[in-house]
């Protein structure tokens, strides 16, 4: 199957919005779902539904096998060394909060430092800020270069011997820039800190190898990589996960319980209390299979071409300000911009009337908006299933909307 064939397996991409063919350019918020994912979920409920890790009957074994097979897939997807270093959560947000509430809670003391960057999504900022407030620790921010790139020299200054945690997004959900994780991990480790990486905007667009990056924790969501909402992933280094006490207790996470005490199950079950989102995990498995079948070269070739077209098209439109690097080589498939004198909401409504869905607002990154000196931006983000014709149309309609408001 070619890339175009794969596009045809996304039912929503053949629908209309406001009477116009849907052009979906909000892939950084969530991606659309292929038929394979939708069918995997409905097949599970139609034929395989049972609770996992419990029953001795055939159906329960079938559900458990399918659920656990996805753990293997996820471990392979991010090159985790062992399947038990990967566990399922509800979302990237839950994964990051989990690290703050376990590792953070058990490690951070008054006077310690937690270092984040100026481009973090609220989900990789607020948990650390709140932890710092609880513990009387200091939250420090690595500032960006004017083009939005992370400054390694600034990072080396902020990360000190007092730093215990460095929390950073691998790809900005606003500027599209990618941060040098390998180098940041080295810096963190040299100073005795761990590095926690938000990979939500990365995993659908480039291969990730958590061992090569040498990260301590890595979080991402299934729904941004063509899987269903409701499933997140957290990877952690074995030695770290083994020393952590769970924060949620209940079924599935125990090995022996008396009224007096409980022995916890080994990892990863120790951290998966209660019935998980089984159908969601199975759906994620189907999404990972789609990515694997299509292959990174086809995905990256298309996304690079679309990003270049989008970025250059916007840079060439007079009266448009583009935020972040102007070089495609430094850009993930996310471009934030503003039309001078026109509010992002008005632009987004104009595009929406033409069936073009983009995001307008602060993108859950209010401190970054303050750094950029704006209240909000428009954001267009592409996925492999978008086409050059769609980007052409987007640029034409954007020009029309701009003229409407500037008339």
Partner 1 sequence: MSLLNLNDLYKTVILEHAQAPHHYGLQPDLPATTLNNPTCGDVLTVQLVVTANQITTLQFSSTGCTISQASASVMTDVLLGKSVSEAQALIAAFSKLVMGTPIAKHDRDQLGDAAVLGSVAQFPTRIRCATLAWHAAAQALTEVTTDDQ
For residue 167, give both structure tokens: 């929390």
- Residue number, 255 or 349, with CB nearest to partner 1: 349
* Minimum gap (Å) between residue 121 Cβ and partner 1: 14
| Helical axes 92-99 vs 126-135, angle rounded to 10° | 20
The answer to whether 88 and 271 have CB atoms below 8 angstroms apart is no
The answer to whether 391 and 306 have CB atoms below 8 angstroms apart is yes
Give contact residues for partner 1 (rule: CB under 8 A).
18, 20, 342-346, 349-350, 353-355, 360-362, 366, 369, 375-376, 397, 400-401, 404-405
- Residue number, 273 or 372, with CB nearest to partner 1: 372
* Minimum gap (Å) between residue 320 Cβ and partner 1: 17
- Residue number, 181 or 354, with CB nearest to partner 1: 354
- Residue number, 296 or 405, with CB nearest to partner 1: 405
* Minimum gap (Å) between residue 348 Cβ and partner 1: 9
Active-site amino acid positions = 364
Task: Compute the distance between CA of residue 108 and CA of residue 309 in angstroms, rounded to an integer.
Answer: 45
Q: State the sign of the Cα–Cα–Cα–Cα dihedral 151, 154, 159, 165.
A: negative
Q: Contacts by 6-13 with C-beta closer than 8 Å and gap 24+?
A: 6/34, 6/290, 6/294, 6/384, 6/385, 7/384, 7/385, 7/387, 9/34, 9/35, 9/36, 9/290, 10/34, 10/35, 10/385, 11/35, 11/38, 13/385
Burial, 239: exposed, middle or buried (Cβ in 10 Å; 0-12, 13-18, 19+)? exposed
- Residue number, 242 or 349, with CB nearest to partner 1: 349
* Minimum gap (Å) between residue 129 Cβ and partner 1: 17
Residue 382: CB partners within 8 Å, gap ≥ 6? 25, 27, 303, 306, 307, 310, 333, 391
- Residue number, 45 or 405, with CB nearest to partner 1: 405
Residue 96: CB partners within 8 Å, gap ≥ 6? 123, 124, 127, 167, 196, 198, 219
* Minimum gap (Å) between residue 191 Cβ and partner 1: 35
Task: Compute the distance between CA of residue 392 and CA of residue 372 in angstroms, rounded to an integer.
Answer: 27
* Minimum gap (Å) between residue 164 Cβ and partner 1: 31
């Amino acid at each position: 199957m070619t890339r175009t064939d794969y596009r045809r397996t996304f039912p929503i991409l053949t629908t209309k919005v406001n009477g116009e063919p849907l052009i979906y350019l909000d892939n950084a918020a969530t991606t659309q779902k292929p038929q394979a994912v939708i069918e995997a979920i409905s097949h599970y409920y139609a034929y395989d539904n049972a609770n996992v890790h419990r029953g001795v009957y055939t159906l329960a074994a079938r559900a458990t096998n399918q659920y656990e097979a996805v753990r293997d897939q996820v471990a392979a997807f991010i090159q985790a060394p062992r399947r038990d270093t990967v566990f399922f959560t509800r979302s990237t947000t839950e994964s990051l909060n989990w690290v703050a509430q376990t590792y953070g809670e058990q490690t951070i003391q008054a006077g310690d430092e937690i270092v984040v960057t100026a481009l973090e999504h609220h989900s990789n900022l607020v948990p650390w800020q709140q932890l710092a407030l609880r513990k009387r620790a200091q939250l420090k921010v690595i500032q960006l270069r004017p083009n939005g790139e992370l400054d390694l020299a600034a990072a080396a200054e902020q990360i000190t011997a007092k730093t215990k945690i460095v929390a950073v997004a691998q790809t900005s959900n606003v500027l599209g820039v990618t941060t040098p994780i390998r180098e940041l991990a080295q810096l963190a480790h040299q100073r005795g800190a761990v590095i926690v990486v938000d990979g939500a905007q990365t995993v659908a667009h480039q291969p990730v190898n958590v061992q090569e990056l040498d990260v301590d924790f890595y979080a991402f969501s299934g729904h941004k990589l063509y899987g269903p909402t409701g499933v997140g992933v957290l990877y952690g280094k074995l030695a770290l996960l083994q020393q952590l006490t769970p924060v949620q207790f209940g079924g599935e996470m125990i090995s022996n319980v008396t009224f007096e005490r409980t022995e916890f199950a080994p990892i990863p079950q120790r951290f998966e209390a209660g019935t998980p989102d089984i159908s969601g995990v199975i759906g994620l498995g189907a999404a990972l299979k789609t990515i694997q079948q299509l292959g990174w070269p086809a995905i990256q070739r298309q996304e690079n071409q679309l990003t270049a077209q989008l970025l250059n098209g916007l840079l060439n439109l007079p009266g448009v300000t583009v935020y972040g690097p102007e070089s495609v080589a430094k850009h993930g498939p996310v471009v934030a911009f503003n039309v001078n004198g026109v509010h992002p909401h008005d632009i987004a409504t104009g595009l929406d009337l033409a069936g073009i869905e983009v995001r307008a607002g602060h993108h859950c990154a209010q401190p970054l908006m303050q750094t950029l000196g704006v209240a909000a931006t428009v954001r267009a983000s592409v996925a492999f299933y978008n086409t050059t014709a769609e980007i052409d149309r987007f640029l034409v309609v954007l020009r029309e909307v701009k003229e409407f408001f500037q008339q």
